[in-house]
Chains A and B, each alone.
Chain A
């Protein structure tokens, strides 16, 4: 029950943030007045005590937990975290209204060029967690595994009945994310080979909304981050010619699950000052423990080795449990 209300309130807050984003869609994109002061230059000054972070809805709960824990460990600092979608976060980074952008997909070349042109710096990519993108169906749906080509046909609108993929005779109803979502972009690229979703694919704001819709719709199918999977069941996914693999931590970590992906944080140039300390905290064992807590997977060790090793006094003291 508590979970449900949490999900609903998350959903409304996402919608509100969408609305707020739309209302403030002009040049002064920042919902947060302090964003102006911290991002005048290319990167925040070392003395700044405020960080603005925006981006992926998939990551917003995780980012909030990190921010809570970081603020608890570093009194006097303020971290403002908001969602809106990976594209939204990256656009905000390009436009200079945030310090860090959360993204559930790698930055596109065009976006990197825009960062170079607008912000006079290179986009800096930091993988911070691992996620398995899950495909959800209604709890009563007998389908428990699908191949990538089948998923492609389903979401392209070429297969329209569940009995064509081994289910019962029922029309397939497609749910997905809005096109500013990293999950949308990832799915389009990896499952649809960059072809379009079917016209009939409905887009909903946030994975929670997708799951809510699928849980109400016996013929529904949707996709989203694994951390949200409640009230519906996930299907095992098989790569072309491969075995169906269940979306779970083990399979995501060893790379056998075909739809696993990194979650990223982006900055303009190497993060410095507070942003650097925050990045170090996310990659520390305390930060990675929170990743597991929220339902994503911590970075495998080879992934962690690519990024600056955690250092500094603040990180290890951070509590593993978020403030109540």
Chain B
């Protein structure tokens, strides 16, 4: 029923008409703008220079990845101190343990490099932080974009965005000294510094990310849509929930994905407020956690170049890089989709 109506929507009809005219216009192709005459040398040089600058950003990202991966790759064949790649991911039985365990204890004899607890820690903190920040960020965005009077909006929006400018070390310090004490008094958990404390600190950094992108997506929804719905007798909340939010959904999703990427890569707050114990308890969120980023930050200074430990840390970095890169890619694809969707209707 719904889809049948969508198929007949005026936007799609208009798009089809456009497509048709474009089809017919194709034979009379004109040269692209600015290429019909010869440009002065200085213009051409300037163009090349700008292109080079744009490329250098791409090149630097590629070079960073290559450098990080280059340091990590020899792990696959060097077998330094008998370390195989599988040892990084599979549980093992060590001296002093009764069963096969996932252990990250990179200093000692023997060194134990199991990265699973670290990724578990990162995931736990990040998911918790998302749990706090997505409702907050998206809720704020919906309120400010659809309900708030303009004057309030002009005050609240910059203030939330200002949150993004607070250095993470300051937020970490706040989480460590203030939040942890409140939480300890209120909850009395075994660990004073735990995943929840770190996640709340982390949520403060990603709320602005989610908010800004969601708010942009919501305000970009054409007024004609909501005006049409209102004219048909829809209530304000119906317009918000059934028209505006679904239309902006890819943008909101992009905000959430980019927020996730930011959270999983955040270092300082988790280093300060999570307690940094690599505990393998997937479903207990009140334990202390050790994240991938905090491990790299705390340990990379210690190791000698070319060590197994050094290589494992670079591998962690490369994996983290791949994850955030993939997330950012997905996020930007979602934003592009939204733009397409909005211009089509």
List A residues at the B interface (Cβ < 8 Å). Answer: 12, 15-16, 18-19, 21-22, 25-27, 84-85, 87-88, 91, 94-95, 111, 114, 156, 171, 173-174, 178-180, 184-185, 188, 194-197, 199-205, 213, 216-217, 219-220
Contact = CB atoms under 8 A, between A and B. Distances in A.
Contacts of B192: 173, 213, 216-217, 220
B307 to A, nearest CB: 9
Q: Which A-B residue pairs are the 4 nearest by beta carbons?
A: A180-B302, A21-B301, A87-B302, A202-B275
B277 A91 contact: no
State the majority secondary structure of interface residues on B: loop
11 contacts: A15-B268, A19-B169, A21-B301, A22-B296, A173-B191, A180-B299, A188-B107, A196-B112, A199-B280, A202-B277, A217-B192
Given A85-B301, A91-B304, A185-B107, A173 B184 contact: no
Contacts of A95: 304-305
B103 A216 contact: no
B107 A202 contact: no
B96 to A, nearest CB: 4
Contacts of A180: 107, 298-299, 301-302
Contact of A202 (B106, B193, B296): B193
Nearest to A178: B298
A205 B271 CA distance: 9
Contacts of B94: 196
Contacts of B169: 12, 15-16, 19
Given A16-B169, A180-B107, A200 B305 contact: no
A15 B169 CA distance: 9
Interface string B95-117: 11000000101111100100001
B279 interface: yes
A216 B185 CA distance: 11
A22 B293 CA distance: 10
Nearest to B303: A91
A12 B173 contact: yes
A196 B181 contact: no
Interface of B: 67, 94-96, 103, 105-109, 112, 117, 169, 172-173, 180-181, 184, 190-193, 267-268, 271-272, 275-280, 287-288, 290, 296-305
A59 to B, nearest CB: 16
A196 B193 contact: no
A53 to B, nearest CB: 15
B65 to A, nearest CB: 14
Nearest to A84: B301
B303 A18 contact: no
Contacts of B279: 199-200
B300 A25 contact: yes
B212 to A, nearest CB: 26
Contact of A194 (B106, B109, B172, B184): B109
Given A171-B190, A196-B108, A202-B275, 13 more contacts: A18-B298, A22-B300, A88-B301, A91-B304, A180-B107, A194-B109, A197-B105, A199-B117, A200-B191, A202-B193, A202-B288, A203-B277, A203-B290
A22 B302 contact: no
Contacts of B112: 196
B276 A203 contact: yes
Given A180-B107, A197-B105, A199-B278, A15 B272 contact: yes
Contact of B180 (A85, A87, A205, A216): A216
Residue among B105, B268, B271, B301 with most chain A CB within 10 A: B301
Contacts of B276: 178, 202-204
Nearest to B272: A15
B195 to A, nearest CB: 12
A223 B106 CA distance: 20
B107 A184 contact: yes
Contacts of B103: 196, 199
Contacts of A179: 105-107, 298-299, 302
B70 to A, nearest CB: 11
A166 B277 CA distance: 26
